[in-house]
Structure 1
Amino acid sequence: MLTRETARQFSDEWEKSWNSRDIDRIIRHYADDVVLVSAIAGRILGSPEVRGIESVKRYFMKGLQAYPDLKFQVLDVLYGDRSLVLYYINQNGLKAGEFMQLDEDGKVSRMYAHYSE
């Protein structure tokens, strides 16, 4: 079960990994069988659903290439039993939220992205 502190630790490391632009550091947060659902993925890939760690890695790499100055700023983290929501400012300066379901190893197994615009 997550606590406020473990949720914050996850959030801090997630933010730092993205802002480092280190794809291997970023991808460590995700399970091998991860499923990601995002409207942005739909625009880039033609489908909003991305399945499996290698597909997610390729999608993330496209984002890093498309946004060379990509920076995320986490505003808040909400947590549940084995899930959390990261509320942050994205690369376009817009608010975004990601619901993340974690597996028994604390890695993201399901992620649903939500955007303010």
Structure 2
Amino acid sequence: MKAEKFNRFTSDWIRAWNNHDLEEIMTHYADDIDFRSPIIQQLGVSEEGQVRGKQQLKDYFERGLKKYPDLAFELYHELHGINSVVLVYRSVNNSISAEYMELNDEGKIQRVRAHYHWH
């Protein structure tokens, strides 16, 4: 993916999250998504901190949006790789977050590893 496409992808992803538009958020993810995050554990979704498939991911995101009604992301850095991107941003409760995302051939996110720094 070229830099312009990554930039557009990232701005669309951030906008969808900041609008709390769950349907738009989900358009960024592949059907076979593998998503791992400590927040999955904190919300009691999965002891392993992992969800698989678009429906499980949607359920997790819906729970997160309800728990954090003031959720807003502020992008700090966007790092491009080969069919991957790392986004570093301010997130829940002013925490610093970084997500490593692998994209499939259609430009949909198929694998995520989320990382957080809590104060």
> Does residue 10 of structure 2 align to residue 6 of structure 1?
no
1:43 offset after TM fit, Å? Answer: 1.8
Q: What is the alpha-carbon root mean square deviation over aligned residues?
A: 0.8
Q: Please say which of residues 82-91 and 2-11 is displaced more in the overlay.
A: 2-11
2:50 maps to 49
Q: Equivalent pairs: percent with the same residue?
A: 37
2:60 maps to 59
Q: Distance in 2 between matches of 1:95 and 1:70?
A: 13
> Does residue 26 of structure 2 align to residue 40 of structure 1?
no
TM-score (norm 2): 0.94
Residue 92 of structure 1 aligns to a residue in which SS?
helix
Which AA in structure 2 matches 1:35?
D
Q: Distance in 2 between matches of 1:3 and 1:52?
A: 27
Which AA in structure 2 matches 1:60?
F
> Does residue 88 of structure 2 align to residue 87 of structure 1?
yes
1:16 maps to 15
Residue 99 of structure 1 aligns to a residue in which SS?
strand
Which AA in structure 1 matches 2:54?
I
Unaligned ranges ≥5, structure 2: none
Q: Distance in 2 between matches of 1:16 and 1:91?
A: 15
Q: Distance in 2 between matches of 1:4 and 1:50?
A: 29
Is 1:77–1:85's contact at 8 Å kept on the other side of the alignment?
yes
Q: Distance in 2 between matches of 1:40 and 1:69?
A: 16
Unaligned ranges ≥5, structure 1: none
Q: Distance in 2 between matches of 1:116 and 1:41?
A: 15
TM-score (norm 1): 0.95
Q: Please say which of residues 3-12 and 19-28 is displaced more in the overlay.
A: 3-12
Q: Displaced runs of 4+ in structure 1, greater than 4 A?
A: none
